[in-house]
Structure formats: structure tokens, C-alpha cells
Amino acid sequence: MSMLRFKVTKEAFSRKAVPVNYPNERPSEYYGRYVFNREKMFKYLPKKTYEAVIQAIDNSTPLSREVADSVAAGMRKWALEMGATHYTHWFQPLTDGTAEKHDAFIEHDGKGGVVEEFSGKLLIQQEPDASSFPNGGIRNTFEARGYSAWDISSPAFILDKTLCIPTVFISYTGESLDYKTPLLKALNSVNKAATAVCKYFDKNVNHVYSYLGWEQEYFLVDESLYAARPDLVLTGRTLMGHESAKNQQLEDHYFGAIPSRVEAFMQDLEIECHKLGIPVKTCHNEVAPNQFEVAPIFEETNLANDHNLLLMSVMREVARRHNFRVLLHEKPFKGVNGSGKHNNWSLGTDTGVLLFAPGKTHKENLQFITFIVNVMAAVYKYNGLLKASISSATNGHRLGANEAPPAIISIFMGKQISEVLAKLAKSTSEDVLNMSGKAGLKLDIAQIPEILMDNTDRNRTSPFAFTGNRFEFRAVGSSANCASAMIALNAAVASQLQEFKERVDALIVAGKEKEQAILTVVKELINESKDICFDGNGYSDEWKAEAERRGLDCETSVPLIFDNYLKDDVVKMFERTHVFTPVELQARNEVKWEIYTKKIQIEARVLGDLAINHIVPVATRYQSLLLDNVFKIKSLFPAEKSEQIATQDMEVIEKIAHHLLTIKEKVHTMVEARKVANKIENEREKAIAYHDTVAPHLDEIRYHIDKLELMIDNEMWPLPKYRELLFIR
Ligand code: ADP
Ligand code: MG
């Protein structure tokens, strides 16, 4: 069996870079080729239709059936010209990733043949079978079917030979069954709330956009090596494997040249992304061996998120072309950095102002301070929710480990901003009066931007950092749908801004001058929420103790972290912002718990199987070789001498016996724990049982397997080792 390991290692080792098919045109020419963007709409739609669609996109209004029919006809014409044969509603179910149901364009022509048809009805609405997607009981409580509907703010695109139409996915009773629907609601809510606050400063602001620039980290593994690791294939991570003698300590990977096979992959990926209108800008090495990152130019959040989901599927495909498998799991390898997906997030007005960027004038800076302080307050109030929004069985391996954001949400503001906020917080009402006077806001912000850009990004241990003109939510997992984090963050900030406006308006009504009222509330907010700010080392034990004292959410059990979604203030916040109803929140949590359970359940099964069928037999075989050897020694040498010569082997035999015994025992108890947990009906209780009583066995069993890996003849070890998985490329 270990033959397989050597065969695949050899295969992987001898691979050459796959040549990239470079297009003949410039990137600016093929950019967006497969996207039905405004340019294509203009070309393929009648003028009236084009105008109606643009109108609908810009004002988020629905399309009439007539317009839809006309759009569908134009879209079909374009798609057929591009060689598409199928179409699908492309949506984001509550499992991560996307779902599609491909239908051919063909319809009966009534003469025994077919025509290629695509009506407005099919464009606007379809009915995928909701029962095949997780819905947390919504299906049972309400109407059975769900439908998908075109999100016209995200353009249709062609992937392979399929026209993909980005859609929301909703139950017939109106509950969202996906990520896109609540994301659009959260974006709408933050737009309204932020626009209202912007009007204090500039009456011309009519829209506030939320922007997202994600940084996608991933690992590449040679496909042959991957295929020889059932744990990678089935769970996305290695459930066993002793640390390689060398891993990332030299940090030579980060600064090293990109390996040629990987470079070919990256170039190919970039070309594919550009054709799909994904503005990928950088591809580079990451800290861990065989770990890389790809990041685009930021876009409006809904589109950026669609693009991230699309990227993840394109990556998988392109990787295959290059004989790689891409690992999007947050923690594929123990002892090596995990993968995240930093969410760079900001708000900007339709007048072109980035609201988290310091300005030049007094008024601009008051607006800047207003917005970052409201973000601070939102993150403070909803820190538990934000943590829940990025928590999953897979990201759970990353958070709290000594390399990724800790399992406590805090904000890193950077020295300059912290000083400004501290100064503001301490100011007396007289100071406030002076500050808002003609002399302007004396906060010394004017010279900050340049310093900020250089200094803000240094604290890598912070899960939520201010980075000069945006916030960077770093705790998001590499495999996640960013929407989860973006829904929570945008909704929380929307709700906070609503509250801020109410407080300021109340002061104005009571007779305070506008700027004074704003400054007063800003000052109060800093004092109320400064406990969320932490600029120190987020991995330290002192911080854990301190965070506990400050009342921040310190829970580490993923199923319990999910409870945050159902806490009173969170439910109210989501209701106030019209993002989720209590019913939806309950149902979605059921799904979260269910998925958590299933992930651990699968890992437990795979590990049990690998331990008993792959590792135990090999270890036993090796042990028996040693036993043989001891027998031979004993038959050849006199007793005293043979005792001495065989000591070494005897010790190893005993150690192997110990590990074998423990592995078998622990696999047995793990199976029993699973049986008990499986009987639990309540999804929450079941997930907790899996977390508390099943998951710990995974680590324990692994410990003993990893010890065996160090003892057993390398020639016999069946699974590709870490040094092979991480260093062959
Ligand atoms: P890093 O130094 O953290 O690796 P980069 O400078 O490469 O990051 O930028 C990371 C991401 O942040 C990119 O996607 C970039 O487009 C995005 N970004 C930059 N400015 C903003 C902003 N104002 N709002 C949202 N995203 C932004
Ligand atoms: Mg970054």
C-alpha cells in the first residue's frame, strides 16, 4: 500500500508547469468578456429596455414582465453567440458555496423539433427544489417550495457553456433560504442609515455604498498526493500527519520566488477571472509552505461577494488543469498557518467620499470620526454576533490558535486614532464647544493619512483592524461565504447609525447646535464602547483575562457561539434593520448547528476508518517485523547478550503496542460518543455533544497516530507525509 505513496510522490515530483494559454489581446480587451454587463446590455437590448433595466438596477426596483421578456431575449442572443447551451439560476444556499440547476435552452417547437428559448419568466423566477437545501425547518413550518429570483444588481455571466443568473433564494412564505437575500437587505439598511447621518454633513448625499475587498488565502497540493490522502479528499483537511522537520520557521516561502507550476496556475486563474469580470489584482505567496493569496480591487459588497464565490469555483477548476487541488479549508495542516479571508470593508457616498478616510477639512474630519466611532460602538455591542458570523466547524480550528485572530473580537485602531479618540473622550463640554467652533476641530487629523497608511496594518493579531481608510475584518474563514460576516457587520453598523441619529436629533430638538450635538454623542459613544479597543497582542493570556473582565464574548465552543444570533438584543437589531425575522434567525441557527454536527461526524468517521484500516495494520506489520527480529536475535545470541541487543527493538515494540491499544480504545469510545450524540433530536444539543464529546477524540487519536509515524519504517507509511504535501509543487 505504501507503494501508492511512493508512486504519487514520484508523479508529483516529476510534473512540469502546464503552459498557459495567453490570450492575444490585452487584459483590458478581454476583461468581462463572459459578463452580460452594461456594455453588452447596451448592445443587445432595445434602447427602451436598456433604460428600464439601468433604472431598475440603480433604484433597486423590480422589472416588469414586459421588460424582463425583452432582457431575456437579448441575454439569450448574447449567450448563444458566446456558445452557451444551458442556463441556470446561480444562488447561495446556506451550505457554503453556490448551487446551480442547469437547464438546456431547448423547448419543443411543436413540429417535432426544438428551438432555443429563454423567456422573461425563466429569467426572473424559477423554482429549485428547496427540499434539497438546508432550510432549518422553514420548509416544514411554512410553504414547501422555494423560488429563486434574479438579483439584477449582479450581472449574468457565462461559465463553461452555461449562462449563470445570480439570484436570491426564498421560501414561498418569504423567508430567505440563502445568503444573498439578507445581504441585500443589510446593504439596503446600512445605506439608509448612513445616508441619513451623512446628511448632517452634506445634503447632496443620496446613497451610501458598502465596499468589500477580500483577500483569499488557499493552499495548493499536487493532485496525486491529494488523491492518496482520503482525509483531504473527504474533509478538506489532514486529520493526521506529524509536523515536517521544516515548515514555516524560515519564512522563506513568503519572500521566495513563486514556484513555476504555481505561477502558471496563478496566471491562468487571473486570465479566467478577468474574463469573468473579477478584478483580480494580486497573487502572491503566503506565510506557510504551499500557501498563497489572491486579492481583487474592492467592489460594491454584493458584487464583490458574488465574485468571491465565483472565484472559489473557478480556482478549483483551474487548479485541476494544473494538476493541483486547491484547499480552501481554514486549517488543512496542523502546526502550519491556516487560511483566512480578510474582509476589507468600507462605506462610501455617491458623492465619492470614503467615510472611513480622514479628510482635510474640519467638517470632513468630524464626519470621519463620527463614522469610525459608530463602527467601534457597533462592534462593541455586537462583538458576540460578529464572532458568530465567522464561526464554523472549520474556522474553529483557526481562531484562537496562535497564528490567527483570537476567538475574541476587538478593534485595533492604531496609535494615532487611539490618541485622537482618547483626547475626544476626555474633553469637557466646553472643549467640545470650542472644537466645534470656527477654529475647527482641533484633532490634528490633517497629517494623519500618510502616517496611517504606513502604520495601521502592523498589528496582525487583531481580528478587526482599522487600516487607514477601511476596516479589515480578519477573522473571516477562507472557505466561508463573506456574506455571513458582511450581513452581521453592515446590519450592526446600520442599527448603530440609526441609534446615533436618534440621539443626535434628540439633542438638536433640545436646543443643541448640530455639530455640538454630534460631538457630544460621539464622545459618549467612545466612552461607552472603548472596551472594544485593544492594540496589544491578541494571542496573549493576559488579553483573554482582560477581555473577560471587559465583558467581551470569550466563548470558544462554536455551537455555543452560534447562540449569539438568538440573543435578545441581536434579534431586535435584525428586526429593526429588516434583515432577519426571529423565525429566520431560529431556522438559520438550526442549519448552522446541523452543518457543524455533520462536519465533525464526517471527520470522526474518516479518522476512525483511517486509523483502523490504514494505520493499525501497518503499525502491526512493522511491529511484527521487529518481533521477528527479536526472535532471531534471541535464537542466535546467548541470553545476556541477546537481551542487550534486542532492548532497542523491545522498547519500540512496547511503544507501538501502547499506541495501537490507545488508538483502538479511543476509536471505540469515539464511536460510542457518536452513537449517543446521534440520538439527540435537538440540533443545538446535538452540536454541543459533538463539540464536547466527539471532537476531542479527533485530536487524541491523531496524537498517537503521529507518534507512530515517527517510529514506523518510512517505506511502510501509507499516507503522503507533511513534507511531501507541503513542499512538492
Ligand atoms: P494587504 O496589505 O492587507 O495585503 P492590500 O493593500 O493588497 O492589502 O488590499 C487588500 C484589499 O483591500 C484589496 O482587495 C483592496 O482593493 C481592498 N481595499 C483597499 N481600499 C479599500 C476600501 N476603501 N474599502 C474596501 N476595500 C479596500
Ligand atoms: Mg490585508
Name all domains of the chain by residue range, CATH numbers in brackets.
31-177 (3.10.20.70), 188-579 (3.30.590.10), 595-727 (1.20.120.1560)
Contact 88, 102 (CB under 8 A): yes
Quote the ligand 2 centre to 471 CA distance (angstroms): 10
Retrieve residue 681's grid coordinates: 433530536
Distance of CA 299 to the CA centre of its chain: 16
User: Half-sphere exposure of 227 toward its Cβ, with a 13 Å CA cutoff?
Assistant: 13
Judge whether residue 497 has pLDDT over 60.
yes
Q: How confident is the model over 2-10, as a mean pLDDT?
A: 88
Q: Which ligand is nearest to the CA of 340?
A: 2
**Tens of pLDDT, residues 466-495:** 998 999 999 999 999 999 999 999 999 999
Largest CA distance in the chain: 105
Judge whether residue 620 has pLDDT over 90.
yes
Asked whether 296 lines ligand 1 (CB < 6 A), one says yes
Q: How confident is residue 454, by pLDDT bands cut at 50, 70 and 90? A: very low
Q: How confident is residue 244, by pLDDT bands cut at 50, 70 and 90? A: confident
Q: How confident is the model over 30-52, as a mean pLDDT?
A: 95
Q: Which atom of ligand 1 is nearest to the CA of 354?
A: 23
Amino acid making up residue 217? E
Of 107-121, 180-194, 380-394, 556-570, which range is least confident?
107-121
Retrieve residue 611's grid coordinates: 486509523
Q: How confident is the model over 625-648, as a mean pLDDT?
A: 93
Write out the H or E segment, with its range, that includes residue 499. Answer: helix 482-509
Q: How confident is the model over 568-580, as a mean pLDDT?
A: 98
Contact 565, 482 (CB under 8 A): no
Asked whether 282 lines ligand 1 (CB < 6 A), one says yes
Give the alpha-carbon dihedral of 406, 407, 413, 414, to 10 degrees: -10
Of 70-79, 88-97, 177-186, which range is least confident?
88-97
Q: Which ligand is nearest to the CA of 282?
A: 1
First to last CA, the chain: 23
pLDDT at 185 (0 to 100): 96
pLDDT at 253 (0 to 100): 65
pLDDT at 402 (0 to 100): 56
Helix (H, G, I), strand (E, B) or coil at 114: strand
Mean of pLDDT over the chain: 90
Burial of residue 492 (CB within 10 Å: 0-12, 13-18, 19+) is buried
Q: Which atom of ligand 1 is nearest to the CA of 357?
A: 23
Contact 561, 552 (CB under 8 A): no
pLDDT at 527 (0 to 100): 95
**Tens of pLDDT, residues 516-536:** 999 999 999 999 999 999 988
Judge whether residue 103 has pLDDT over 90.
no
pLDDT at 389 (0 to 100): 97
- Strongest mean pLDDT among 22-26, 279-283, 398-402, 666-670: 666-670
Atom 8 of ligand 1: nearest residue by CA position? 215
Q: Which residue has the higher pLDDT, 213 or 360?
A: 213
Q: Which residue has the higher pLDDT, 428 or 236?
A: 236
Instruction: Tell me the C-alpha to C-alpha distance, in Å, between residue 332 and each of 105, 116, 476, 479, 482.
Output: 40, 45, 16, 11, 20
Retrieve residue 415's grid coordinates: 496609535
Amino acid making up residue 505? D
Closest among 205, 241, 250 to 221, alpha carbons compared: 241
**How many other C-beta atoms lie within 10 A of the C-beta of residue 110?**
8
Retrieve residue 208's grid coordinates: 451610501
pLDDT at 541 (0 to 100): 84
- Alpha helices, H only, 276-414: 301-321, 362-381, 383-390
**What is the 8-class DSSP label of residue 129?**
-
Q: How confident is the model over 86-107, as a mean pLDDT?
A: 86
Asked whether 344 lines ligand 1 (CB < 6 A), one says yes
